[in-house]
Structure 1
Amino acid sequence: MTDDVLVVGAGPTGLTLAIELARRGVGVRIVDAAPAPHRESRGKGLQPRTLEVLEDVGVTERVLAAGTTRLPFRKYFDGAHVKDTDPSADAVPTPGAPYERGVLIGQWQVEQILRERLAEFGVGVEPGREVTGFEQDADGVTAVLADGERVRAGCLVGCDGGRSRVRGALGVRFDGTTEPEQSMVVGDVEAEGIGRDAWHQWFTSDGGGVMLCPMPGTDSFQFQAGPELDADGEPLPPSLESFQRIFDRHARVPGVTLTNPTWLSVWRVNVRMVDRMRVGRVLLAGDAAHVHPIAGGLGMNTGIQDAYNLGWKLALAATGQAGPGLLDTYEEERLPVAAWTLGISTDLYARVLEAVKEPGTGVEAAAPPPMGTGYPWSSLAGVADPSGGSVGDPAVLRPGDRAPDAPCLDASGHPVRLFQVYADPRFTLLGFGAEVADAVGKLAAEHDGLLQGFTVDDGASDSLADLHDHEGHARRVYGVTAPAPALVLVRPDNHVALITRDPAEVTAYLARIVTFTPKE
């Protein structure tokens, strides 16, 4: 039997991809080398754009219930309390961006939530199943597991982390640098005598520091600090005893005892990325494709967004609805994002190192810019207005941009958000204005299974539109000037594909997707 897709690695990236495929009816098998799920905090933050992605996946409410969005940073310098800060204190939700804050949550908790969601589609992770090699041909990929089983699939996606065996077997370059002299010890411990109402950050005038971050839903703190060194200047192996010595030296808080270590690790600065994310029927995502400094919490977020970009494309290709050229747009769109992430996170790490040298400063200086703002360079970004008229305001929104949210009312007058409308795995066509209403219905009928269509009015009480933009937010965030009509085509991963008033342009765009060939 041949599965449509074999996903290798059951971290946040692999799990998100498996869900995206399963909810589109694609036969997916997901294997992981680990014999059981870990319970390590690792990457511990999800950014607002990732929360939008996970809402579409169907798990944001669970994530918010398990994590916390409000945890102040409590700064100390040479043992004295300096201040409490909240770097997101001024952030407020807007109709177009409902998540103004990220969420603090352990990576193991994110993975558990994603596993539960995947199980709702009848798919389970196969633990202790390591892929040791594979070979591909014109019709598929044959992977070999450590126990000798041979697995046949249409495509294989390596989501197996920074030491990816899939990447190694694929033979792509993994360019960049490793800085062994820049390292950190990190782990999960309990701490008696420290409050759990803040992320504690102790810095000293000699440039040292230690941080304890309470992990929601647990009794543990994530411990971060520079390592102890041996006589040759090499990091000593992490241990509870060394964590206690580091804490006592930098925090200078008597009577605090670290106990019950469940994870102890050494992390080294590693800045690398592949030169290709696809070779034939084998693709790479997440840390298998790019690794970078820990600052900014970009790793888990970037991997989830890789999977979100790839999922709908791989589903269309695997089910024969799109040519293999559609998969090339995954690399086209995500490889520049990986390069941006490497540059941003490396810069953030350098800023953290500088920030800890000054009293009253610290890791909030490393707050990253927004991720997931779009792919305006992509060949999937259609023209904004082929007729030359004023359809959408390019200062507000362009093809390739992230599609904003907006509150509306459905045909029955009940509140509905555009993000809820976009949760359908198909393309979505919004038709603003009565002049394009017939075209929306016709296009949806002609492309059943690929497209859903909604007419949008300005909130008139006698309108028969599918969505009522009763407060004008949808027109505003999509740059539509009333009463001019407009058609906005939104991709399955909630990015704007096309803004036009000509229904023929929508037909042409979808025809190019179904039999995909790159745009000239």
Structure 2
Amino acid sequence: MPSQSLPVLVVGAGPTGLVHALTLCQSGVPVRIIDKAPKPFVGSRGAGIQPRTLEVYNSLGVLPDILTGAVPMPINRIYKLPGGTEVMKDFRMCPRSYPTPGIPFFNSYMLGQDVAQSILRSHLEKYGCHVEHGTELRTLDQHADRVEAQIVKHEDGNESPETFSASYVVGADGARGAVRKLLGLSFEGQSTGVGVIIADVKVRGLEREHWHMWGNMSTQGCSALPRYTHDDETFWIICFGKEIEEKTASDPEAVKALVKKLTDRPDIEITDFLTLNYVNFNVRMVSEFSRGRVFVAGDAAHVHSAAGGQGMNSSVMDAFNLAWKISLAYKGLASPNLLQSYTDERKPVIQKMLKVTTETLEKTVRMDDSGWERGMNFYQLDVNYRGSPIVVDHREVDALKPPPTNVYTISFVGTVQAGDRAPDAPNLLSLKRTDSGSALTSLFRIFKPTKHTVMVLSASGSAAEPVVDLLRDAKYPSDVVQTAFILPGWVAARESDALPRTDFVLKDTDGHVYEGYSVDPRKEEVTVIIVRPDGMVGGIGNGAATVKEYFERVFA
């Protein structure tokens, strides 16, 4: 596959499109990103950030800015009705936990989607890539080597049409977007019969220490979540339940009256609406995530209820999975089947996610308390691509069977296999330092969204040489592959020892790498673990043969 020269066109500048565009830009792939809306999105929708998404943000270098505004999920406070002031109970939807060596980010956070998008845009702009708002995609025409897109810019009431050629097009333009429709992809599924009114409002009469809740999903209810990045009167209001009518959302005064009715609190006064929308929960998914050179991701590919807080997070995972594959294809390095693996890997995961979120919604509607639980099964840390056609696992004889039905939750993490998320490991001593910085590092500091990381675990430095020789002879570009040799903690490194020719030489001082990846540090065998740019394990085995087989599936 020859390298490309035309930019990648990303349609839609929500979290999906922004994460995808930022990942491509960091890989040196030129991107044009457009959005039909005349200005950036305003509102809290998609406010819950799961731990796996935090890891993606960390990989992309945006996490410090995200955590500046994000807050842990507050305590939920349910009030008795009538009256609406007496507390029925307090509970945590997501119990707080503590980080582990393999999971440094082990809690969910809240941050309005508009704030998160602003942060992502600011990082994207560092690469000279700016979102073009008021720019609409009208048509797509695919060719063997490009996609011709008809685009219209809306400015001051005028339309300026243009024809734009792109190497690839990624549709991240939402459930009602143009890309999926232009591709003619089916969007099979059904309505849940449940909808919600969501609004960002200025409101008086509420304290900001809790996520306030009245009523229930089986009839009607209301919740109010403080927007901690805004002033003390700004809240995110949700009116929910089977009896909530869409027409109410078209009348702000009717919404004010509904909130007073549902809370039974005359002291709660909405003074202004920043946003006001109605969302009908549908459960739908495309049959395939791409056709030719055009792909769909996020809400353009799947929609479901907000129960479980999986939508925005799953969309980010779509974008991150696809970006490194398009990057290799753009550079002429991808195997013929690499882009197809996007559908192969994400489709079973999304199918399972739709099932999980629908079951969670149904529990909530029938007032099952477990419907409000948002435990580790929702963290997306154990979402896996086991059985993917591009992963290699020589430690698991049946790893290449079709993806299992439990690709969304697998007894929570467990023994790492090819296709799983790659755990972190802290306190790694660098024995091959090239700067004056700290000698201690971690796997998450080494993993890059632009590179495959080939890790060789052995007590003998010479064990890495066959892998280094293989990669050199295969002439894989150094900008997409890096190597790390990791000594077990029990080995004393001596100055007279010859260091292997890997990019990193590390000592696992606390044993977190060997323990986290289930490798016996006392055995003489060599273990090779290949971590993909999206932080997933691509291959596990006992030598250079694993590296060869894995990269034959990935590279041209």
Partner of 1:414: 439
- Provide the C-alpha distance between the structure 1 equivalents of 2:50 and 2:290, rounded to a whole number of angstroms: 26
How far the C-alpha of 1:501 sits from its partner, in A, is 1.7
Sort the Cα spacing of 1:143 and 1:2 in 2 relative to 1 into closer, same or farther, 3 A.
Answer: farther
Is residue 388 of structure 2 the alignment partner of residue 378 of structure 1? yes
Partner of 1:507: 548
How far the C-alpha of 1:242 sits from its partner, in A, is 2.2
Is residue 357 of structure 2 the alignment partner of residue 330 of structure 1? no
Sort the Cα spacing of 1:386 and 1:259 in 2 relative to 1 into closer, same or farther, 3 A.
Answer: closer
Compute the RMSD of aligned alpha carbons.
2.4
Partner of 2:252: 240
Sort the Cα spacing of 1:151 and 1:2 in 2 relative to 1 into closer, same or farther, 3 A.
Answer: farther
Residue 130 of structure 1 aligns to a residue in which SS?
strand
Tell me if structure 1 keeps the 8 A contact 2:60–2:449.
Answer: no
How far the C-alpha of 1:415 sits from its partner, in A, is 2.3
How far the C-alpha of 1:438 sits from its partner, in A, is 2.2
- Provide the C-alpha distance between the structure 2 equivalents of 1:498 and 1:268, rounded to a whole number of angstroms: 41
Tell me if structure 2 keeps the 8 A contact 1:3–1:29.
Answer: no
Sort the Cα spacing of 1:48 and 1:395 in 2 relative to 1 into closer, same or farther, 3 A.
Answer: closer
Residue 303 of structure 1 aligns to a residue in which SS?
helix
Partner of 1:222: 236
Partner of 1:160: 173
Match of 1:291 among 303, 308, 312: 303
- Provide the C-alpha distance between the structure 2 equivalents of 1:140 and 1:205, rounded to a whole number of angstroms: 48
Partner of 1:342: 354
How far the C-alpha of 1:161 sits from its partner, in A, is 0.3
Match of 2:128 among 117, 122, 146: 122
Partner of 1:8: 11
What residue ranges of structure 2 are gaps of 5+ in the alignment? 153-159, 399-412
Tell me if structure 2 keeps the 8 A contact 1:186–1:225.
Answer: yes
Tell me if structure 1 keeps the 8 A contact 2:219–2:242.
Answer: no
TM normalised by structure 1 equals 0.91
Sort the Cα spacing of 1:186 and 1:234 in 2 relative to 1 into closer, same or farther, 3 A.
Answer: closer
Tell me if structure 1 keeps the 8 A contact 2:23–2:449.
Answer: no
Sort the Cα spacing of 1:191 and 1:320 in 2 relative to 1 into closer, same or farther, 3 A.
Answer: same
Tell me if structure 1 keeps the 8 A contact 2:335–2:552.
Answer: no
Partner of 2:40: 37
How far the C-alpha of 1:40 sits from its partner, in A, is 1.0
Match of 2:518 among 479, 486, 501: 479
Tell me if structure 2 keeps the 8 A contact 1:440–1:454.
Answer: no
- Provide the C-alpha distance between the structure 2 equivalents of 1:100 and 1:206, rounded to a whole number of angstroms: 32
Q: What is the number of residues matched between the two proteins?
A: 503
- Provide the C-alpha distance between the structure 1 equivalents of 2:373 and 2:395, rounded to a whole number of angstroms: 40
Sort the Cα spacing of 1:87 and 1:38 in 2 relative to 1 into closer, same or farther, 3 A.
Answer: closer
Q: 35-44 vs 406-415, which deviates more?
A: 406-415
- Provide the C-alpha distance between the structure 2 equivalents of 1:234 and 1:293, rounded to a whole number of angstroms: 16
User: Amino acid of the residue matched to residue 468 of structure 1?
Assistant: K
Q: Can you list the C-alpha shifts for 1:289-328, whole angstroms capped at 9, x where unaligned?
A: 0011111121111111000000000000011111342100
Is residue 268 of structure 2 the alignment partner of residue 256 of structure 1? yes
- Provide the C-alpha distance between the structure 1 equivalents of 2:423 and 2:374, rounded to a whole number of angstroms: 26
Match of 1:28 among 27, 31, 46: 31
Sort the Cα spacing of 1:153 and 1:424 in 2 relative to 1 into closer, same or farther, 3 A.
Answer: closer
Tell me if structure 2 keeps the 8 A contact 1:227–1:236.
Answer: no
Match of 2:535 among 488, 494, 516: 494
Tell me if structure 2 keeps the 8 A contact 1:410–1:466.
Answer: yes
Match of 1:309 among 308, 313, 321: 321
Partner of 2:277: 265
Tell me if structure 2 keeps the 8 A contact 1:489–1:498.
Answer: yes
- Provide the C-alpha distance between the structure 2 equivalents of 1:135 and 1:309, rounded to a whole number of angstroms: 25
Q: 402-411 vs 237-246, which deviates more?
A: 237-246
Partner of 1:518: none
Is residue 493 of structure 2 the alignment partner of residue 462 of structure 1? yes
- Provide the C-alpha distance between the structure 2 equivalents of 1:90 and 1:155, rounded to a whole number of angstroms: 41
Residue 540 of structure 2 aligns to a residue in which SS?
strand
Tell me if structure 2 keeps the 8 A contact 1:444–1:453.
Answer: no
Tell me if structure 1 keeps the 8 A contact 2:7–2:29.
Answer: yes
- Provide the C-alpha distance between the structure 2 equivalents of 1:95 and 1:261, rounded to a whole number of angstroms: 44
Sort the Cα spacing of 1:378 and 1:387 in 2 relative to 1 into closer, same or farther, 3 A.
Answer: closer
- Provide the C-alpha distance between the structure 2 equivalents of 1:488 and 1:38, rounded to a whole number of angstroms: 41
How far the C-alpha of 1:365 sits from its partner, in A, is 2.9
Sort the Cα spacing of 1:8 and 1:17 in 2 relative to 1 into closer, same or farther, 3 A.
Answer: same
How far the C-alpha of 1:60 sits from its partner, in A, is 1.3
Q: 436-445 vs 28-37, which deviates more?
A: 436-445
TM normalised by structure 2 equals 0.86
Q: Can you list the C-alpha shifts for 1:15-34, whole angstroms capped at 9, x where unaligned?
A: 11111111111121111111
How far the C-alpha of 1:170 sits from its partner, in A, is 0.5
User: Amino acid of the residue matched to residue 212 of structure 2?
Assistant: H
- Provide the C-alpha distance between the structure 1 equivalents of 2:70 and 2:217, rounded to a whole number of angstroms: 33
Is residue 399 of structure 2 the alignment partner of residue 399 of structure 1? no
Tell me if structure 1 keeps the 8 A contact 2:140–2:149.
Answer: yes
Partner of 2:61: 58
Sort the Cα spacing of 1:177 and 1:377 in 2 relative to 1 into closer, same or farther, 3 A.
Answer: same
Partner of 2:481: 451
Sort the Cα spacing of 1:250 and 1:229 in 2 relative to 1 into closer, same or farther, 3 A.
Answer: closer
User: Amino acid of the residue matched to residue 277 of structure 2?
Assistant: S
How far the C-alpha of 1:156 sits from its partner, in A, is 0.7
Tell me if structure 2 keeps the 8 A contact 1:429–1:490.
Answer: yes
Written as runs of structure 1 = structure 2, the 5 A alignment for 1:92-131 is 92-131=98-137
Tell me if structure 2 keeps the 8 A contact 1:45–1:105.
Answer: yes
- Provide the C-alpha distance between the structure 2 equivalents of 1:415 and 1:449, rounded to a whole number of angstroms: 24
How far the C-alpha of 1:376 sits from its partner, in A, is 0.2
Partner of 1:391: none
